[in-house]
């Protein structure tokens, strides 16, 4: 090949996100130069999004097995046993870059994609969650991004008919140029009817079904593995377009095809579309695959092989059927009105071979594309840590009442009612608790049983920013605490690790330390990681997002009648604070919203204490000795008390014990703490102390005020008005 062609291919490789040394490695692995189609296939399979080349070494530190784990990382989603022959299948994934460029479609297709990851394993989706991070509310783009993302999530989930039951929404200037949209789906399946992606043998038909292939989303996986700059809006064509009605038909057709017994292996077409689905199915099964691209249902005229292989058009599946079962598949696809075609066969060559218009346009060994993709041990430096802030180093507010109103109406703390009222939270009629009801986790019944699944998503990026290791521990511990606070037995987590550019040692240090903290918490709490996603290069013009390792978690309620919430507080009940308060102010909401500071070491997480405290709380809920529980997190005791009072429409008079400064007791964010309302405080405190736990009375329920004698008194209506008012006023 002459020099001009070589230069063009090398340039193309760079445009596709491949480093010069990676292109050299391709030449070495192939023993020849690739053509453009082959280069495109390599570029998406070797992208960070598909290969985890910067993080794989460290992800291996996560515990991934446990008594309930049926399938851990490596498949489309994680699978856990929930008893009675049933399994829960769940995963979280990001759609960050597309949602910034085209908020409605970016968020909508994120929801569609995560549902496909779950039903491709045989599960019917029963719940959706989302973890959203937006920029400073004052930034000119933020309002439009919020509006588009929320509309996209609601528009897709509501149309498909799966309830959105929980999630979290934060605002910080660190996300001004790169928002985060992390979507999670939870599904139910029979434990003996789980479907996997590995092709079992050669000589089997490969069937494409779903929507037609178009030119949308080409190089989406590469875009998800690149930084943003001022020209990022030009990447709009790489954002896919979703059709929730097509997804609904696809769910039903897929589950019916599985029930027919015709499926040998199945994979959704997500990032990198037809390329990743075919490469992964053949690669995992140690077979080859041959596709005739002329047979691919196409939405547009004159599509090239390159465009078909790299398109990320939505609502598409690839199945390998058992011998002679194509007719069963065609009958089902016709019934549901889906495009479908047999587009190839599995082979015994170990290669992926693509034919287009009678020519072989790609012939690559599969091993270098998946198992043998580059694996980096990137250099990293330990993050600089900050000193702990003692309570006496942090100013008390001049006016406590005003400080509380300011805190409860701050963007991160204010009610997100405006947002979740746009989601159908009760479709399917099995939602018991959701974002609106006043519980620490969403709860969805397992239809036809007494069981329910509790679900939550958590991360405190400001903690991870100041200490990635402790922040990583805390993200896992808070998810565990949220499930515990409703009475659920925590089973397992999925994660979405959102960070900046891993080629910068200080960012790689955040990644390594956060993973190590998360892994330690997972081990201590018997809370294995069963699935997840890594989203790196979340930077704009060299400025990285705050490190955000989001944790999605699932727990089991054996009997959903034995659960707790924080909206059932009754006048006359006593408030008991379980857990020790030292007054941890580092990286706290109080520090940021009242004093305008973001410094200090985040609260340390004592995992043994976290475990002991949580196990105690859960035992009391299951025994029905405790019905009203709220875990303490952002904003400390006063935030938990205010949320409990507002949700229950009952006032609270706090009675703070002497010793620690008042502002430390009200606003400190010490971990492993729960606020419990009870009719029998003495018995609860005695029982806690017998379990070697700190417990003390901190107030009484009744009246119409939130108060602490001699410190502040606020009408509950005023608190509610401020808390509920911020978001509608902001969205205008």
Active site residues: 49, 95
Q: What are phi and psi of 344, to 5 degrees?
A: 170, -170
Strand 124-134, strand 164-171: pairing: parallel
The DSSP annotation for 68-99 comes to TEEE-BTBSSEEEE-STTEEEEEEEEE-HHHH
- Look up tokens 């969805």; give the residue: 444
What the block records as the tokens of 205 is 């038909």
- Look up tokens 């549902």; give the residue: 115
CA 562 – CA 298 distance, rounded (Å) = 52
Partnered with residue 73 across adjacent β-strands are 75
CA 470 – CA 371 distance, rounded (Å) = 33
> Residue 132: enclosing H or E segment and its boundaries?
strand 124-134
Q: What three-state secondary structure class fits 712?
A: strand
Describe the crossing of helices 20-30 and 36-45 by its angle, rounded to 10 degrees: 120
CA 431 – CA 452 distance, rounded (Å) = 9
Residues 6+ apart with CB under 8 A from 231: none
Do 187 and 87 form a contact (C-beta atoms < 8 A)?
A: no
SS (H, E, C) 234-269: HHHHHCCCCCHHHHHHHHHHHHHHHHCCCEEEEEEC
Question: In the chain, count of helices (H) and strands (E)?
Answer: 24, 28
Handedness of CA 221, 224, 228, 234 (dihedral sign): positive
Do 453 and 462 form a contact (C-beta atoms < 8 A)?
A: no
DSSP code for 368:
G
Beta strands in 157-295 (DSSP E): 164-171, 180-190, 205-210, 263-268, 288-292
CA 158 – CA 147 distance, rounded (Å) = 16
CA 596 – CA 403 distance, rounded (Å) = 12
**Four-point Cα dihedral 393, 399, 405, 408, nearest 10:** 10
CA 566 – CA 677 distance, rounded (Å) = 9
- Look up tokens 């009952």; give the residue: 650
Do 466 and 546 form a contact (C-beta atoms < 8 A)?
A: no
The DSSP annotation for 566-597 comes to SS---TTPEEEEES------TT-HHHHHHH--
Q: Tell me the C-alpha to C-alpha distance, in Å, between residue 590 and each of 45, 587, 665, 674, 693.
A: 45, 8, 12, 19, 26
Residue 722 CA neighbour count, 13 Å, CB half: 18
- Nearest partner of 617 among 632, 603, 605, 606, judged by Cα: 632
């Amino acid at each position: 090949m002459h020099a001009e062609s070589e230069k063009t291919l090398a340039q193309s490789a760079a445009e596709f996100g491949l480093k010069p040394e990676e292109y050299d490695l391709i030449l070495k692995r192939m023993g020849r130069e690739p053509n453009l189609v082959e280069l495109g296939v390599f570029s998406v399979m070797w992208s960070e999004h598909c290969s985890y080349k910067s993080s794989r070494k460290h992800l291996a530190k996560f515990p991934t097995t446990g008594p309930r784990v049926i399938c851990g990382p490596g498949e489309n989603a994680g699978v856990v046993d929930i008893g009675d022959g049933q399994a829960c299948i769940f995963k979280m994934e990001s759609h960050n870059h597309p949602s910034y460029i085209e908020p409605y479609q970016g968020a909508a297709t994120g929801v569609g994609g995560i549902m496909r990851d779950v039903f491709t394993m045989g599960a019917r989706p029963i719940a959706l969650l989302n973890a959203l991070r937006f920029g400073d509310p004052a930034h000119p783009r933020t309002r439009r991004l919020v509006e588009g993302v929320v509309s996209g999530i609601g528009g897709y989930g509501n149309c498909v008919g799966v309830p959105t039951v929980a999630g979290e929404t934060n605002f910080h200037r660190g996300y001004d140029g790169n928002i985060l949209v992390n979507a999670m789906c939870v599904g139910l399946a029979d434990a003996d009817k789980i479907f996997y992606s590995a092709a079992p043998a050669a000589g089997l038909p490969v069937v494409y079904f779903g929507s037609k292939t178009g030119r949308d989303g080409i190089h989406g996986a590469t875009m998800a593995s690149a930084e943003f700059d001022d020209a990022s809006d030009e990447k709009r064509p790489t954002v896919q377009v979703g059709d929730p009605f097509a997804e609904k038909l696809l769910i039903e057709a897929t589950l019916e095809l599985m029930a027919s017994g015709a499926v040998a292996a199945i994979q959704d077409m997500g990032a990198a579309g037809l390329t990743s689905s075919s490469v992964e199915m053949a690669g995992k099964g140690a077979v080859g695959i041959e596709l005739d691209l002329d047979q691919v249902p196409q939405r547009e005229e004159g599509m090239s092989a390159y465009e078909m292989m790299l398109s990320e058009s939505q609502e598409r599946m690839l199945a390998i059927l058992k011998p002679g079962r194509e007719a069963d598949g065609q009958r089902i696809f016709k019934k549901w009105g889906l495009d479908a075609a047999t587009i190839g066969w599995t082979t015994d060559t170990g290669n992926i071979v693509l034919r287009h218009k009678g020519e072989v346009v790609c012939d690559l060994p599969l091993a270098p594309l998946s198992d043998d993709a580059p694996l980096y041990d990137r250099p990293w430096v330990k993050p600089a840590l900050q000193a702990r802030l003692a309570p006496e180093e942090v100013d008390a507010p001049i006016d406590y009442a005003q400080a509380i109103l300011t805190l409860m109406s701050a963007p991160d703390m204010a009610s997100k009612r405006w947002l979740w009222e746009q989601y159908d939270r009760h479709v399917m009629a099995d939602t018991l608790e959701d974002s609106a009801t006043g519980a620490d986790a969403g709860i969805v019944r397992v239809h036809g049983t007494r069981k329910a699944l509790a679900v939550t998503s958590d991360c405190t990026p400001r903690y991870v920013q100041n200490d990635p290791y402790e922040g990583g521990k805390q993200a896992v511990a808070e998810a565990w605490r949220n499930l515990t606070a409703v009475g659920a037995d925590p089973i397992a987590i999925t994660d979405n690790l959102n960070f900046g550019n891993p080629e910068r040692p200080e960012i790689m240090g955040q990644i390594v330390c956060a993973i190590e903290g998360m892994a330690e918490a997972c081990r201590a709490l018997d809370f294995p990681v069963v699935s997840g996603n890594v989203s790196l290069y979340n930077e704009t013009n060299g400025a990285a997002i705050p490190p955000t390792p989001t944790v999605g978690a699932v727990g089991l309620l054996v009997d959903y009648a034995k659960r707790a919430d924080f909206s059932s507080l009754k006048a006359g009940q006593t408030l008991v604070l379980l857990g020790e308060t030292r007054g941890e102010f580092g990286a706290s909401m109080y520090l940021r919203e009242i004093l305008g500071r973001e410094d200090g070491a985040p609260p340390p997480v004592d995992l043994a204490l976290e475990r002991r405290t949580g196990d105690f709380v859960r035992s009391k809920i299951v025994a029905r000795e405790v019905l009203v529980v709220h875990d303490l997190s952002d904003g400390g005791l006063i935030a938990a008390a205010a949320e409990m009072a507002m949700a229950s429409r009952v006032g609270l008079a706090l009675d703070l014990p002497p010793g620690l400064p008042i502002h430390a007791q009200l606003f400190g964010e010490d971990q492993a703490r729960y606020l419990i309302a009870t009719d029998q405080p003495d018995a609860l405190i005695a029982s806690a102390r017998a379990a070697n736990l700190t417990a003390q009375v901190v107030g009484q329920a009744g009246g119409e005020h939130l108060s602490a004698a001699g410190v502040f008194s606020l009408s509950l209506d005023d608190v509610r008005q401020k808390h509920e008012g911020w978001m509608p006023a902001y969205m205008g």
